Structure 1
């Protein structure tokens, strides 16, 4: 049972399902970030395909900058507003809605002017008081036409609340539960003067509220105003224009379904709001107020139109941020809502869309949770992209073709998070497996190679590539004698060699080398593969110098430890003393060569090694063998010496024809780093050595002996370990004097030892 659970369910899926349930609960709560993402997606839809602008009998009577310039500053006397109403009605406007509040008496009315100026002459004041009040003139104009007055909400606080006035009843009927708990609520509003309200055919709210990001995406079609159910300005304008029949609010347990207005059902969100489907702002909707007052309009411009009166003048403009990404005058938003209702083009977001989005989220995430852990990464990504893209395409199609707003953002986001969760867990699991591989195989091959193979398993195939490498071979001189002294304690020999090989390995890997293999006490390594290394020859030389230095420290540490043991056992009885093993110095011989090799996986299809093949490999191995003959710890081939000669202290040793090769190789001893190379005494020694070798190859034995003696003095002064090299040439000179070389002698030494 436990194995079945681990294989087919697993803790990853359990955690993912728990996360899915939490995600669905978050969506139901609908916090601001989720709503903002959804709204931003709908905005993109809106911007990608705004509503087509089609001629409809809706116009905006605009108090624009030109009107202010010609008529005078705002607010105008109410008798001028009355002229606007009369002129519009005369031109055939069906109904007029005001996106303007007339909350205070007109201060430009003659009686009001007389009241506001007590120092005015009595006869003049009497004449003004006798004139008709402008507000009365406006009320009479309202009574002669179908006028809908706008009302708006107001922010109030304790001590500054507006006195409530009785509102004219808005005739309506309800089908279903009381909608007020779901509606947008306005507890305090600003109304027009009572005489104006009484003369108007209707009253509508033009207040709306933006989303948290400040964008006006929804407009309340029906709302709760001081506890009464009222229509918005656009809806009330349409109701009055179509006969003034009562409106009907249809509700269910989830909230408002829609409003029946002008004998058609207008679907709404559960809070009674609608989503306007906007076009870009268009001047074709606007009529300048000054043109209407000065009889400059064509006779049929307002015929049969529903007219909204608003302002767009600088200082009076009332612009709102819209989903289209550009601001728009508030009155034009109401006009577009009216157009949407008349053309049945409102965006639709039914209450059931939330259930569809939750169900889709659950299905998509469950598909990912169930199948993703067992699928290849490529298949999982491709399948997930198909699912998410398909759902996004359906969402956009519904908007484009049906004007239905189905949120693609949350289901896609939740699916992407599920994919990320599963992928993260898979990645952590694979990372753990990689660490296990590195831990297991890193003991045998280079960690760099393990890393590369774990990242790209395609390299675990037979084959190789041609690359220039620097190769290093090292061996312990006299290892046979050392092993013989440990014949009674082979474990101690194993510990010793492990410590020794660790020193060599650390130096190689510290300088980014790849350890090819261990062969008893010998090590083969190379640089510039599998990872490229621009100065691979320099790195190999630095590693070799570090190996020699640290082996020397290791030798001293072993001698000191042996002395401490002897001192500690002096007081012990002779029969309890442990037998002593001679402490041999571990002397390392190193050969380094550079050249073009084939590097890669070599072997059979079932077992292979990452190694290098080629003539430079054989030469490097032979050079390591020559270190015993010449007494130099590190010997470089000619190609390596050419690469590093400007940064290391080198001295030419000989031209050698190693075993198995016909072409001679000029070899060099690596003695130190650049500080030794720049020493004037060393430069003098290398010059003397070059002259000695030249005399030797020219068979000038006397001069060669003289220069050899001079070179010995320079070497002793620098304390360089070249005694074996100098003794070698001393013996050669004696032998060549005794038995001269043949006439075709080229000065090349033919080595007979590997």
Structure 2
């Protein structure tokens, strides 16, 4: 048997090998076009994110980076402590606070500090800026501050990197030595906590400012650094320039780096560039600026796929960017220390008391300061969480620069080669085997295999191999192979035709065949719209023909054909006939986004067709076939219930039960077509309705609003519009238990439009309540079974 199978495969390859290669090549080209045009970008992002989380998460805490978090406990602690609030204010805090934090981090042995924020506004009390600057000079702690760019900022002249970094901020008065005594209730804080005396800050010359903010960066391979620019109205690209920091800090802060958001088109932070140009000067990101000092680098260079800082080099992508290897969400990757704890340790140290944080918490670590509390941090999306504090990016880049690696893209040739290989394997496998289980299972195996392969590469080599492009090529080749196979034998198509042609419109059956959407035997939950109709007084109707049942069958068949035809023309799927009742589904088995609108159109068409039939029956002396209709939209369980030999495609659920009850409830309201609240919500832009009442279904406590379907949008005549308006006016009075006023409105309208059923029914109810007021009235009617 195995030998015969192998011979069969060889024979098919010999006869159809060129078709297999052609299918693989076309599928590869289509997938490449999708990747090149950006159509696959969102899919690739999703695949990459999931692989990153699954295969690279759980790496544990970084040994090089600690995050000092401005968290909610810090905000509450400072706000609730009168002395802290007096000295530092509310968020954003005075720069005196950051001076104290810098002193404590220096004393705790921190290697460097990255402040993931900007300081581009001068403090209302300039002594705070000057005091902070003086502390930074006194401690010598490497302290780096972010800067952003803006299209409204002024351009700077070309920086002279041969000149020294300007030190123009005036010296602040030296801080007194800390007192030996701990803070007491009647003593605000040690004297060191007070701001330095105010001193006027000179204006920094633009050239000196450019020297302080810019950093030498270049590409040695002839490429260009990414431009700092934004798209203005009209689509024109315009440059962005750095927003200068507070002048007092220039020369005291060790360096400044860009902290602009670097997000993909979907808002997720996955990548970073390391240097930018505004056309005059070059600027590096904040982590790069810090690391340049730590490794003694005076310039950043990019050459091909290599980033160079001094003697250190990292592998990056050809465009000079790299993806971030997060390794997990913020709290799993980095030690988080509340800012309040650092501040309290400074107070203890100033009072010569033991500090609370461990001695190794900050020693030889890079400290990233940023917000994590709601309203303080900038919420960003990463592959690990859609709501991460923005500082996670800075911390991740610092960690990668210090000891790790970035995630880089595989060369385009590798991606294209894998794509063609996947397409070829798919085509050969399916076009030779022609085995139904393989045809069904191969796409899943293909996607899972690519997912595992790319995930393992991410984990072991920090290499991102595209998944969406080869997956699309493989699936495309599989579809083409299946199409080829089914040119020979299309048993599934024949099965669909035989199974559904009796209770679905032929064009829908053909659409199902084209889309290969065979309804599932095990069923599925999906939102659909159910249609129920019934003839008023059918028992009496049928008794007239007990001596001539064949005539009853002919009449009933004529009626059912009339109603069914109206529903099928709107794309409905006939569920069943229960005597004279018709049950129809919209939105299944074929998905229909406008299933509620289709059901409403079908109900109105069925009503109109029945009116014509009633007139014909009246002339022939047949009984009246006055029909009531219920329509309701809800999530129901739909599918083929039965066996492979005999099954019934139907739906079950509360939504179906409510549709049936709405059909019966028409009797109590004198209406013809009653629809549920979800149907109204979905189709309201396309239909004219009358709000009938709020009802409570038996077995349920929540009331729902029901409506009478009157016409399609814009097709309601003026007289009916007036009747509906008067009904709504009376309904409002009725719900307020103002029955006498409601009766007056309804009586006037009933005299004008005596044929309006809902007006008469509500009038009867108001008169009844007027004579015998209900004990507990909530304006909700109980809809019994």
* TM bracket, shorter-chain basis: 0.3 to 0.5
Tell me the TM-score normalised to structure 1 length. Answer: 0.48
Q: Which has the higher contact order (CA 8 A, sep 6+)?
A: 2
Structure whose alpha-carbon radius of gyration is higher: 1
